[in-house]
Structure 1
């Protein structure tokens, strides 16, 4: 990539071409992603509409990967510090949900790149296109390799709790609750039927959300399926069909649409049995899409495994999850569910809860 873009940049200088931003930005980001074996066409990344905090005006972000990175490309010789401030202006504008905020900002004039890590341990790095390969380690977050601090993990757990609470409320309504205290029912017959159904569906959805980010299948496959293959009216039946596919070995599948055929067989019983979809509401798809834009690998496996339990509490939902987001409290809530989890995979952990 460095050699190809150096040749192109030298050509621009020879011909005096300066207005390169709009013509070449998308190609630059695509090439950068492909360097890390990310297929950009499989993710909705380019020209995200956004509001600027400073003016209230509308604009668009060149490159936006929810929860991962924001990119702005400017013409040769432009001020990258100003471009970085523009990126932050978009983030502060209110049109990008906090659960979507990226950990990294990349700004470039194609020849020089400024890379910033946001969050609890920020840093800034500048290098030229010729030095791109020398900084592969700092760019490995594009391939899913990054370090999350404890403070960032705790903040992510709060965001995750809010998102899962939103899904649960959209599915089952705010009046359906069970206790999360010592008095919580342990027999399924003591729980409300709708709550039981919601619990099963929440577990399955959480697995799919996490799988999108954890490499269980191609990146954002579930997100794209919800975005392009469902509507508010057919989400329930479509989810039932997807669960059936996930519970069927590849050798026994026939005549599946291309997107469904890309999902692997998931053993362990998490998708075994009928799925409840009749109680989904019009708000369910919006809540699910919001959750799809979150990076679920930013939370710990213990928090991941516990999330669907916690959002069934009215107190947790009304408090946006803050009361239940410490890992200590989560492990107390789960009790025997997490005993023996040491050394198990995410799939096994989720299946044990299911």
Structure 2
């Protein structure tokens, strides 16, 4: 029997992590999720790699902050079958190990059966350290000085290769802890589901496994699988081809930028021409308006003089003159009819009955001698 008893402490931990759920329906298990022993994984960075005790403590702290999913073989596609909800670091005298509690939900009958039968008894975590230090030189494969070649080969700047001649990667600082999975063989030595009599927590728990998220090759999925080594020559050839493509693209971009600059200059010149033409048009309009206004004012002045003369001759001295050409012309036309010259040299406004005019005496024009 591998399920552990749900003590009151475990029930409290479940409630704190999962909330208001049917605790009695959950199967709880304990597992050694990770430890400080060398990792048995054929990977150019993680072969023989070791986590320090602080790394395990950070994983335990993350579980207090948020539980992690239990997956199968780091397959992130299906939904998890349970959760890892608690962890503690235990020192054995040989190494330090992260003991975790996980539960399986009621739908995971098949997985629970395999655990109880011993068919599935190992686990694997999916984690990412903040630093991967070469044990000999201290070179950080995740640091700013590391190149893709360092990471793909495991060789540092001094020629020390991880996994050879006793050189290994030291995992320092936890960057990410994604999940724990049920696996056939774990990458961490002794990473397995423990039996009830060897339980650190002394409780009956559901199976411990985590959901796998493997975003890139630097993530440690701690299963004992062999990584396919990279063909460096093919990698370099591919990189060279990509560099040539990038160079051509940069040349094309430079030519396009030159053309764009020329077009922008043409646009600026065109806009300047438009501004100049608009200014000339506005000046012409202003000149036309001024000329028309001056001509109108001159015509009004001339017609006003004529109108005054006509009105004076017809004896209308108190008429207010209009100020526009049309009205002045109409006024002149209206009163000009009275100024038509008759036969005999008189105009229509000259009196015709001269007999009524007093006769001037010749003596009026004589001088005294």
TM-score, structure 1 as length reference: 0.24
Structure with the higher fraction of residues in strand conformation: 2
Q: Which has the higher helix share?
A: 1
Q: Structure 2 length normalisation: TM-score?
A: 0.23
Q: Relative contact order: is structure 1 or structure 2 higher (C-alpha 8 Å, sep ≥ 6)? A: 2
In our comparison, the structure showing a higher alpha carbon Rg is 2
